Amino acid sequence: MDTNKYNPDFRAEGHVWVELKAQSHQLTGDDEAQMIDYFAADEDETCNVGLLVNFGRPRLEWKRIFPPKKIAEFRRKKWGRLIH
């Protein structure tokens, strides 16, 4: 993984990306896209679930994210990498 660009807050148990937020607004599509970028940059494909957690709201907000089925296509478009 390119750690200069994609650096999630935590990797739990080696299989879960965890991204923590402290936003006064709800989680957005941009936050979800950030998690999808983590999946795409994970060359080992060891993480199969992501958790977005927002502590900045009056009540804890969280979302569980799974990698898209067409993640290989996304990798090709974004980084020009050949995926078998």
- pLDDT at residue 5, as a whole number: 60
User: 61 pLDDT band (50/70/90 cuts)?
Assistant: very high
Q: Could you report the per-residue pLDDT of 12-58, keeping only the tens digit for each? A: 888 899 999 999 999 999 999 889 888 888 777 788 899 999 999 99
**Better-scored residue on pLDDT, 8 or 52:** 52
Encoded amino acid at 57, one letter: R
The predicted model scores a pTM of 0.75
- pLDDT at residue 3, as a whole number: 42
DSSP 10-65: EEETTTEEEEEE--SSPP-HHHHHHHHHHHHH-TT----EEEEEE-SSSS-EEEEE
Cα–Cα separations (whole angstroms), residue 78 to 8, 45, 73, 75: 18, 16, 9, 5
What is the average per-residue pLDDT within 7-16?
87
- pLDDT at residue 41, as a whole number: 81
